[in-house]
């Protein structure tokens, strides 16, 4: 599949790595346009990609075009590309907060895909939520799915409002999990565990518990009850977490992030 990346920064490179690893496209089929000379030479040397500083020339023969620049750079890039994109090209933007309406208007085309990946995409374990305008046909959707699968798992949503919700959940989510891991490890060190052992215990506990919820048919509350013996240690710990309103706090955090996501897109 011939692809063009406009922006080969953190997320652009993560996508390129995933795409090459999975064989979605070969290195000779990918062209990257980036204003940074350092990024261009890094991508050319590391992956053997064709690079350019011209956004228009990168997109000329591409079947899929990925806009992987910061939202602030998007208006200028859209202005450059306007009028040059062809009907058979699939255009995917990963710019946070930039709506389908703004993309359509900026690019002067009705068919556009908007995706919201998250940080674990850097190691192929991301969760990407995406949507598309009505004009995006089945072939475009198939291509978008293939490309986004290179970042990990993907889920199509028919309603764009779910993208703002996903921004608050899976987009910002890694930061919440990092904070939980950090505090969990610090607490383990505080009671006397060596830091490296504490980190291993916490990470395996978080990963193992998430996998168990994913594989089990049981509700998380049921799994929690199973591990909570009457009068035992887990009951003591859980009581403190409930007393500190962990559940309500998490609820407020997600709502605050969602409100911010809506405000950033101007609602």
Q: How many residues does the chain have?
A: 267
Residue 170 Cβ vs ligand NAP, minimum distance, rounded to whole Å: 9
Q: DSSP string of 231-250?
A: TSHHHHHHHHHHHTTHHHHH
**Minimum distance from residue 129 beta carbon to ligand NAP (Å):** 10
Nearer to ligand NAP, 67 or 188 (CB): 67
Cβ proximity to ligand NAP: between 71 and 124 the closer is 71
Please tell me the distance from the alpha carbon of residue 252 to that of residue 246, in angstroms, as a whole number.
10
CB of 115 to ligand NAP, least distance (A): 8
CB nearer to ligand NAP: give 18 or 171.
171
- Both tokens assigned to 67: 């806009």
- CB atoms < 10 A from the CB of 3, how many? 26
Q: Which residues contact 73 (CB under 8 A, 6 or more apart)?
A: 7
SS (H, E, C) 43-99: HHHHHCCEEECCHHHHHCCCCEEEECCCHHHHHHHHHHHCCCCCCCCEEEECCCCCC
Structural element, H or E, at residue 261: helix 246-264
Q: Are 68 and 6 in contact (CB under 8 A)?
A: yes
Closest to ligand NAP by CB, 25 or 148: 148
Specify whether the CB–CB gap between 154 and 182 falls below 8 A: no
Nearest approach in angstroms of CB 98 to ligand NAP is 7
Nearest to 180 by CA among 217, 153, 210: 210
Nearer to ligand NAP, 123 or 226 (CB): 123
Q: Least distance in Å: CB of 53 to ligand NAP? A: 8
What number of other Cβ atoms are within 10 A of residue 193's Cβ?
16
**Residue numbers of the site for ligand NAP (CB under 6 A)?**
6-12, 33-36, 39, 55, 68-71, 73, 76-77, 94-96, 116-119, 171
Name the residue nearer to ligand NAP (CB basis): 8 or 188. 8
By Cβ distance, which residue is nearest to ligand NAP?
A: 9
Q: For residue 250, what are the contacts with CB-CB under 8 A and spacing of at least 6?
A: 176
CB of 105 to ligand NAP, least distance (A): 17
- Least CB distance from residue 69 to ligand NAP, whole Å? 4
What minimum distance in Å lies between the beta carbon of 121 and ligand NAP? Answer: 7
Nearer to ligand NAP, 99 or 188 (CB): 99
CB of 219 closer than 8 Å to CB of 237: no
Between 96 and 193, name the residue whose CB sits nearer to ligand NAP: 96
């Amino acid at each position: 599949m011939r692809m063009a990346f406009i922006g080969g920064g953190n997320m652009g490179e993560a996508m390129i790595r995933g795409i090459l690893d999975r064989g979605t496209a070969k290195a000779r089929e990918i062209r990257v346009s980036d204003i940074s000379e350092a990024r261009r030479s890094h991508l050319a040397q590391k992956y053997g990609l064709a690079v350019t500083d011209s956004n228009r020339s990168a997109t000329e023969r591409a079947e899929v075009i990925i806009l992987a620049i910061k939202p602030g750079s998007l208006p200028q890039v859209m202005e450059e590309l306007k009028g040059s994109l062809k009907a058979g090209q699939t255009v995917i933007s990963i710019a946070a907060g930039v709506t389908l309406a703004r993309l359509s208007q900026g690019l002067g085309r009705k068919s556009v895909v908007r995706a919201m990946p998250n940080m674990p995409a850097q190691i192929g374990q991301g969760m990407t939520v995406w949507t598309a305008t009505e004009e995006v046909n089945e072939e475009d959707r198939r291509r978008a799915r293939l490309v986004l699968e290179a970042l990990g798992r993907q889920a199509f949503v028919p309603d764009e409002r779910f993208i703002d919700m996903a921004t608050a959940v899976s987009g910002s989510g890694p930061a919440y999990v990092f904070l939980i891991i950090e505090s969990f490890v610090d607490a383990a060190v505080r009671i006397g565990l060596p830091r490296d052992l504490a980190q291993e215990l916490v990470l395996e506990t978080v990963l193992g518990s998430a996998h168990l919820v994913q594989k089990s048919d049981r509700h998380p509350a049921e799994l929690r009850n199973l591990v909570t013996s009457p009068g035992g240690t887990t009951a003591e710990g859980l009581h403190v977490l409930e007393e500190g309103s962990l559940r309500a706090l998490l609820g407020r955090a997600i709502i605050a992030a969602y409100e911010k996501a809506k405000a950033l897109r101007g609602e």
